[in-house]
Amino acid sequence: MYDLPYNVLNKIVHYTDRNEQVALAQLNLELYHVVCSKLYQTIIVVDDDHKISLIGNLSSTLIRISDLATFTGCLNTRNFQFVDKIIINTHSAEASASLVGFFHRLAQLWNMTNHVISFINYDILSLRVSDSLNNYLELNSIQFAEYDDGDCILAQKSRKIQNLRHWFMFHIQDLLVAPASDNLQRLGLYVESNNYQGNADEGYTIEKPNYDNVRRNLSSLLELFLHSALAFVKFLDLIQDLRIPQLQLRRLSITSTHRLRNDAMLNFQQIIRQFNLNNLEELELKVSCARHHECQDLCMVRFFSDWKTYNIIHGYKSNVRKLSLVHHKSLSETVQFKRIVEEQIFDLHFSNIKEIYLNLSNTVRSPGPSLSIDVNKVIDRLTMVPELEALHISSYMSEWIWTPPHHSELLTYLDTLANRCKCHECQMTRASFVKLAELDKAKNYSHKLSFEDTSTRPFSPDSSIDFMRVENYKFLQYVCGIIRLQELIMERNITSSGTMLDMEYMPESQTCEIEPFKTLIQHSCLNEIHELMTSRACQLRKVNFGGIIFCK
């Protein structure tokens, strides 16, 4: 093994689990380098209650937040050089204490090395308390010289922030006083209309804005994430005031809301002047309209139609490969979102699209049959996106099941969801479902039960679940809720500092006890829906029905 080339060593390490990898790292320096490159390359910090998958060959290393202090203590200049990306996927203000200690250790390491990393925190709760790493570094790198008359000037400021590829900021002012950085690739901006930050300070530095640095940083920027409508408005004002030319980005996430206060209505002509939409590789639109009585439910729809018309007139073509559409903080209005999904996303205008992510989860009330997305229309239009490889539909069980594919049987959507398959496995699962629903009713629908409670109870398999019975309907809602919780890491921050463009860094929580019910839903309808989709989109390799995943 000592004389094996690196490509062979990489394969050996790839096909071993984590415990074996640690043992291999102790054999020689070559294996130590290969193993550390794999273990430290991407670190993802998750909550303690996250059910980490037991699959060994993960592309990243997951660390529970309670273990972050231990990991922090183990970091040194030797293993830090293997770190490429650190991602915080917690959701707790209490995590800030561990993060501050982690920030301090990183600052110490950057006293000894200028190793460049990406650091992304999706946890808005901890961000509000401990702030972002780049702001922490700026706040703790300022040294003042004070004179007898009480005046003070900025005497020295280290530039550890330049070792970060990603900056996250709560204020435009932070960007105006930041240094020029050749390593900056991604900027996240989340401006809140209300001051939630415990340590928020609009004027934390006496430095004056340096507009040349702003222009330089934005001119080389590859990724821009405007996580709030106010961030969108303020950023557009900034680049217009500075007369910054059209940004040539690779990834763009915009939050746009049509509302009375802090209006940021989606306007194609305004956006195309500042961003080259057609050259984007990835685009996310977090959109909603609370003033639909004023725009006749057209403001969001018009954006896509104007873009398509613009390209036809000028002979342009969209190069977007990944598209995310999120219904952003809307109480119930889904008319435009429904039209966009059914008529405009799956279109020849996006013929180069490879991945589509759809999220209607922020609608507080279920849309019902009249406003639910019609999966039949989506399936029929899949031929217009021939390059599509991945389709992710969040909360499919809540927002899409009202309109299942047409069948010869006259079934309700609930029967379609659970009663169509007559195989022995599904018959047994339905019987278990009914018994658990009865137990849940006896416990006043507290859901304080084990999915193994039926294992010792005799029952005879029945042909179907009667959803006219309240306990069965409520238990189905409970099961669908658990399925939805598998995507909790993404869902809980999607309206703030999160994004669906980075789903590969948001591991799903594993809930083995509901696997029989997921299989029941697959057999009853999702297998058929998946087959219909793949028959129309030949390149389709992965479909995620909100936690129930099909892969080729």
Confidence of residue 151 (pLDDT cuts 50, 70, 90): low
Residue 189 lies in a domain: no
Please list, in sequence order, all residues whose beta carbon lies within 8 angstroms of the beta carbon of residue 67, skipping any fewer than 6 positions away. Answer: none
- Residue 111's domain spans which residues? 1-166
pLDDT winner (highest mean) among 219-233, 289-303, 504-518: 219-233
Task: Please compute, for residue 334, the number of CA atoms within 13 A of its CA located in the half-sphere on the CB side.
Answer: 24
| Pair 13, 38: CB distance under 8 Å | yes
Residue 507 has pLDDT above 70, yes or no: yes
Residue of 272, 296, 140, 148 lying closest to 205 (CA atoms): 140
Q: Give the C-alpha separation, 300 to 291, whole Å.
A: 11
Residue 456 lies in a domain: yes
Residue 81 lies in a domain: yes
> Nearest 5 degrees, angle CA 262-CA 268-CA 270?
60
Confidence of residue 153 (pLDDT cuts 50, 70, 90): low
Residue where one domain finishes, among candidates 147, 166, 185: 166
Higher pLDDT, 303 or 33: 303
For the chain, the domain total comes to: 2
How many whole angstroms from its chain centre is CA 355?
14
| Pair 154, 206: CB distance under 8 Å | yes
pLDDT in tens, 249-287: 999 999 998 776 667 888 999 999 999 999 999 999 999
The β-bridge relationship of strands 61-64 and 42-46 is: parallel
Q: Where are the alpha helices (DSSP H) in 261-364?
A: 268-274, 292-295, 299-314, 335-339
Q: Give the C-alpha separation, 41 to 14, whole Å.
A: 13
* Least reliable range by pLDDT among 123-132, 374-383, 457-466: 457-466
How far is the CA of 412 from the CAs of 94, 406, 420, 421, in angstroms?
Answer: 45, 11, 11, 14
| Pair 405, 379: CB distance under 8 Å | yes
Residue 141 lies in a domain: yes
pLDDT in tens, 193-218: 765 444 444 444 567 899 999 999 99
Helices 29-41 and 6-14 pack at an angle, to 10 degrees, of: 50
Span 221-232, average pLDDT: 95
pLDDT in tens, 34-82: 777 888 999 999 998 877 664 444 678 899 999 999 999 999 999 999 9
Sign of CA dihedral 38, 42, 47, 51: negative
**Which structure tokens are listed for 30?**
């070559």
Q: Give the per-residue pLDDT at 453.
A: 65
Residue 94 has pLDDT above 50, yes or no: yes
Is the full-model pTM beyond 0.85?
yes
Q: Give the per-residue pLDDT at 449.
A: 75
| Pair 40, 82: CB distance under 8 Å | yes
Which residue is listed with tokens 């937040």? Answer: 65
Confidence of residue 9 (pLDDT cuts 50, 70, 90): low
Residue 478 lies in a domain: yes
Q: What's the farthest any 2 CA atoms get from each other in the chain?
A: 90
Confidence of residue 292 (pLDDT cuts 50, 70, 90): low
Q: Give the per-residue pLDDT at 230.
A: 92
Residue 54 lies in a domain: yes
Residue 67 lies in a domain: yes
Q: Give the per-residue pLDDT at 197.
A: 46
Reading phi first (left if > 0) and then psi (alpha if -120 to 50, else beta), residue 243 is in left
Q: Name the 3-class secondary structure at 441.
A: helix
pLDDT, averaged across the chain? 85
**Which structure tokens are listed for 244?**
């910054």
Q: Where are the alpha helices (DSSP H) in 315-462?
A: 335-339, 368-371, 375-381, 396-399, 413-418, 424-442
Residue where one domain finishes, among candidates 138, 166, 194: 166
Residue where one domain finishes, among candidates 111, 139, 166: 166
Q: Give the C-alpha separation, 289 to 297, whole Å.
A: 8
| Pair 434, 476: CB distance under 8 Å | no
- What does residue 390 show for φ and ψ, rounded to 5 degrees? -140, 135
Residue 171 lies in a domain: no
Output the DSSP codes for 334-356: -HHHHHIIIIIISSGGGTT--EE
Q: Give the per-residue pLDDT at 203.
A: 43
Q: Give the per-residue pLDDT at 205.
A: 52
Residue 23 has pLDDT above 80, yes or no: no
Burial class (CB in 10 A: 0-12, 13-18, 19+), 63: middle
| Pair 381, 415: CB distance under 8 Å | no
Percent of the residues in the chain that have a pLDDT greater than 70, as a whole number: 80
Which residue is listed with tokens 């490969």? Answer: 321
Residue of 187, 77, 68, 80 lying closest to 134 (CA atoms): 187
| Pair 300, 334: CB distance under 8 Å | no
Q: Give the C-alpha separation, 429 to 516, whole Å.
A: 6
